[in-house]
Chain A
Amino acid sequence: MSIKLEYVLFGFGILFCLAGVGYLAAEYVKNLSEVGKLISLLLTVAMFAFLSKYFEDIGW
């Protein structure tokens, strides 16, 4: 029972972290130039693609 509660708390922590990072990123993106936004988007896509490949390789 206590393990489940820990997982819920971890879940909340991760959610708040993601929300905070997302909010900060959105605030920064507002001040970026159009070229900067495009390159950031491409790098974000590439980052998630490489991360997915990494997780795939370790067997997730």
Chain B
Amino acid sequence: MSTKRRNLYLYLTLACFFGIIAIFIVDGYMGVYDTVYITAGEREQKIESDVWQRGDKFWSTGITRGEKAFCRYEVDNRRFSTYEAEIDVSIWRMQQKIDEILSQQIAVDPFDKEVLEWVIDTTELIPPDAPPEQGFDFTLRIKKDELERNIILYINPSPYPVKPVPAAPR
């Protein structure tokens, strides 16, 4: 009887231990996760939500002047209830809003994903009279209710055009 009770305590201890491990795994999986994908210059960058959770407030990416960046914003709802949020995407420079890209209400079903896509055209952002050797910084601001995701878009200067060498006189 005593041995049985002793073993019961040991099993309960083990059950509690595995319960803690299970909570670590399940709690880490559950939640709402947003991921940003930016494709510029044939390279795709993936910015996961833990980047911002770690405390990095900004992430930067480069776009060649005259080219476009293709952005995808994925909201992954790993909860048992529907997730609703207002998504605002805008471009800022020197604390001024340059462009409002989209503003949309989303409702994501439990354990489902919602994807928003947009394109950033650098020719529309840069003033037409800007010299080609000048680079520009913009902030892509994705606002999901109270949360803000800021991504610095660095627009590289145009490469200098190759000047044709005049043919040597004969």
Contacts and interface: CB of A to CB of B under 8 A. Distances in A.
B160 interface: no
B10 to A, nearest CB: 5
A53 B13 CA distance: 10
Q: Is the interface of A mostly helix, strand, loop or mixed?
A: helix
Contact of A54 (B13, B17, B23, B30): B13
A51 interface: yes
A43 B16 contact: yes
Interface string A38-58: 011001101100110110011
Given A32-B24, A33-B27, A36-B27, A43 B6 contact: no
Contact of B5 (A32, A39, A51, A57): A57
A57 to B, nearest CB: 4
Interface residues of A, number: 18
A31 interface: yes
Contacts of B10: 50, 54
A57 B13 contact: no
A43 B12 contact: no
B95 interface: no
23 contacts: A28-B28, A31-B28, A31-B53, A32-B28, A33-B27, A33-B30, A33-B31, A40-B20, A40-B24, A43-B19, A43-B20, A43-B23, A44-B20, A46-B16, A47-B13, A47-B16, A47-B17, A47-B20, A50-B13, A51-B9, A53-B9, A54-B6, A54-B10
Interface of B: 2, 5-6, 9-10, 12-13, 16-17, 19-20, 23-24, 27-28, 30-31, 53
